[in-house]
Amino acid sequence: MWRKRNRPDSGTSKNHTGGKCREESGEDSVEAEAEAVSVAVVRDKAMFLLAGREHGRLELRQKLVQRQYPPPLIDSVLDELAERGLQCDVRFAESYTRMRVNRGYGANKIRADLQAKKLTRDIVEQAIIENDADWDENAHAALIKKFAVSDCIEMPDNYKEKVAYIGKMTRFLQARGYGSQQIAEALKRVSTRTA
């Protein structure tokens, strides 16, 4: 059986952490060491998340808070990453916009999604403008993909059914975030193609 030896207090104590025994000269060095380790851990986790895809600052902060890292450490790490250019809201907005356009979403939906991620209005508008998407063509492609049978949409013969079907297509495009001009153009292309 092991017994604890009584030693005179010499102002230093042994701290057994991580399997290593080291001398300390006070609580300040322990806190500084723990903070340095924590900053490194938070930075590594943030870098791991950024390696997968771009993240907005708020989104990255929320993911780190969910992992129960201290908010002051998170903020300092995010500031450092932004200064080094490793996290950038503008780059995130451009990447997100490109991804959503490729999935068939319109400018209104993308704008609302980016604003929900707490990006500034300037960053959001810049990302949408710089994307240079042909919104009319994208709206038409989304209609064809959803409603087409072999590259053309078959409209019902009955007037009531036709109006209901056009309403259904309109609501679909509105939910996808297309504006009224883009919807009208897409519906016009559909009706001329099937006529």
Q: What is the pLDDT of residues 132-181, one digit of tens each?
A: 889 999 999 999 889 875 566 778 888 999 899 999 999 999 999 999 99
Q: What's the pTM value of the predicted model, to 2 decimals?
A: 0.72
Is residue 16 helix, strand or coil? strand
Q: How confident is the model at residue 13 (pLDDT cuts 50, 70, 90)?
A: very low
Beta bridge partners of 17: 20
Token code pair at residue 10: 């010499």
Which residues neighbour 103 within 8 Å (Cβ) at sequence distance 6 or greater? none
Task: State how far the alpha carbon of 81 is from the alpha carbons of 35, 50, 55, 78, 122, in Å.
Answer: 17, 10, 12, 5, 21
pLDDT score recorded for residue 142 = 92
Q: pLDDT tens digits, residue range 70-126?
A: 899 999 999 999 999 999 999 999 999 999 999 999 999 999 999 999 999 999 999
Is residue 63 helix, strand or coil? helix
